[in-house]
Structure 1
């Protein structure tokens, strides 16, 4: 089987805080007024992505991994993760503030949930005027100070707010308290994990009138209480060049702006490659075929690929590998 560049059907998720930008800005097939997430590439059980283009249309990502593990993922990726797809790719539209939350590290997630932890990064694609994100604390706090702020309803006073605009990028390591603010549309790259500890939700109620579950006690031992300035990602933006953004043990992400054809020799990569189009339109061509992606679309290129050519005149891409 020739594993050509694969596109997948988006898995749309309604959220209390969601809006219509995934449909209006990125063209997702949503009829809902509260679509918060588009899962672009997922190996999460119950939400497995399905191919949407070419002769493999309708085939699940998991079946492809089972049938062609090393060809699709790469030998080193299979050695580390077996036949599990190791990252989850999303677009997120926050019409309202998301809950304030954090994610456990690998050890704690394994012990409590038999899951990976959840390290992630955000690339801001669009932001309303004065939109912001919460990332970390604005000072060092103790566990006792934090717990008291929950009792006193003063947690928001301890948090660090970052104003954002298109292109801003943030790395969210495990244990860091965070939230996406209202008016932000972003691309998210994360470990394959759906483990989230929600610690404050602005006292919102769901459509049945219930408060959403909080994970106050579990979060206490998972949280980093130190003020750290390690989350803003500075990266070069040289056109037709692979610009490093994030290089962590769980994924590597590069920024590529295409103004003319760019060909990469990737024989030694030993990893699949994902392209998230965050602006414009580009054609992704390999020895096995090609696919066109526009802003808000994603394509998966197999590890068995030798050369990748990116063709376009006005495109911005996030390139993700392991």
Structure 2
């Protein structure tokens, strides 16, 4: 019988990372190692999540899907994606600015990489003073104008900068130029894709002294030059109710603040549910199984589970499904 699943963290060392993720997860890494990301739930071929709890501990995501198919994913999801888990669930610690970048849409990613595109969204878990990010252009532009700004060293003038606060959320469709600024701790929901086109990396060098690869021509093909929208999403939290933050063809994400006991009926979803903890502690119970979901952890509720009981003094969860 399937039950709520937790996975071993997949920690990613990044030039812009820090120590907040391993510290919060109580995972020991050397103090000079910069951890930028935790793939909390992943179906990427080279980064398959491995179950950490219960009878299925040690099984990876591909093995789970091959065994349980629609019971795990939902029948409609399995029919569409087969053994490809369709979402990548991350936590990101930007101890320094990420590169100015863009992601391809499905069509371009299929042609160039035989991959899904990358539409994503961010939820700001925590911020340091004066933190911000880049999302969209400061004005509608053209490829020719972009090239002029880029070649003259004035690219940052064309970037739209937005301050961030805890609880802010941004929707980042494929084609939107963006960068997470230093001082942001982010929960990210995205299509299963690891394709990023770097446009500008602040002339940084990696630990071997080499400049990181840029992807100018690919980025030019991918960018939506008319996108001057921030992508910021307005929503209001309601205790013990799911409040929608983002809905698109790739995922739906709700905010669910749990205070006390919340009973969720997922019988009509025909999809797995991901619960991402973005604040507090919460227990998750279903069909006699129980897990503790701590901050910056995520759980996968298989589609075969129709009812879940959530308990917390006060916790905030992102509720994600197809």
User: Structure 2 vs 1, CA of residues 192 and 123 (structure 1 numbering), >3 Å: closer, same or farther?
Assistant: same
Q: Distance in 1 between matches of 2:261 and 2:16?
A: 39
Deviation, 1:262, is: 0.7
SS of the aligned residue for 1:66 comes to helix
- CA-to-partner distance for each residue in 1:6-44, whole Å, 9 max, x for gaps? 000000000000011112345344335310001100000
Write the deviation string for residues 157-190 of structure 1: whole angstroms up to 9, x where unpaired: 1100010011000000010000000111110000
Which consecutive unaligned segments of at least 5 residues does structure 1 have? Answer: none
CA deviation string 1:104-160 (max 9, x = no partner): 110010011000000000000111110100001001111111112221111001100
Which residue of 1 is the match for residue 243 of structure 2?
243
Q: What TM-score comes out, normalization by structure 1 length?
A: 0.97
Distance 1:71 1:155 in 2: 48
What's the CA shift string for 1:72-117, capped at 9, x where partnerless?
Answer: 0000001111111000000000111000000011001001100000
Give the corresponding residue for 1:83.
83
Q: State the shift of 1:288 in Å.
A: 5.0
SS in 1 for 2:59: coil
Q: 2: CA distance between counterparts of 1:231 and 1:29?
A: 36
Deviations 1:262-297 (A, max 9, x none): 111211210000100011111111115121101111
Displacement of 1:229 after TM fit?
2.4
Partner Cα separation in structure 1 for residue 230 and residue 156 of structure 2: 20
Q: Which residue of 2 is the match for residue 30 of structure 1?
A: 29
Conserved? CA contact 1:287–1:306, under 8 Å? no
**Aligned CA-pair RMSD:** 1.1
Whole-angstrom CA distance in 2 between matches of 1:28 and 1:247 = 33
Q: Does 1:93 align with 2:90?
A: no
Query: Do the aligned residues in 1 keep the contact of 2:277 with 2:298 (CA within 8 Å)?
Result: yes
Match of 1:74 in 2: 74
Q: Do the aligned partners of 1:236 and 1:244 also contact (CA within 8 Å) in 2?
A: no
Q: How many residues align?
A: 321
1:236-281, Cα deviation, whole Å (9 max, x unpaired): 2000001111111000000001111111121121000010001111
Match of 1:59 in 2: 59
Q: Does 1:10 align with 2:9?
A: yes
For 1:227 and 1:175, how far apart are their aligned partners in 2? 8
Contact 2:135–2:230 at 8 Å: present in 1 too?
no
Q: Which residue is equivalent to 1:281?
A: 281
Q: What are the within-5 Å matches in structure 2 for residues 34-183 of structure 1?
A: 34-183=34-183
Structure 1 residue ranges (4+ consecutive) displaced by more than 6 angstroms after TM superposition? none
Distance 2:231 2:103 in 1: 15
Counterpart CA distance in 2 for 1:265 and 1:129 is 39
In the alignment, does 2:196 pair up with 1:196?
Answer: yes
Q: Compared with structure 1, are the counterparts of its residues 124 and 264 closer, same or farther at alpha carbon in structure 2 (3 Å cutoff)?
A: same
Using the alignment, how far apart are the partners of 2:262 and 2:127 within structure 1?
29
Residues 311-322 of structure 1 correspond to what in structure 2 (within 5 A)?
311-322=311-322
Structure 1, residues 39-87: CA drift from partner, whole Å, max 9, x if none? 1000001100000111111111110000001100000001111111000
**1:187-230 superposed Cα distances (whole Å, 9 cap, x missing partner):** 00000001111000001001111111111011112111114326
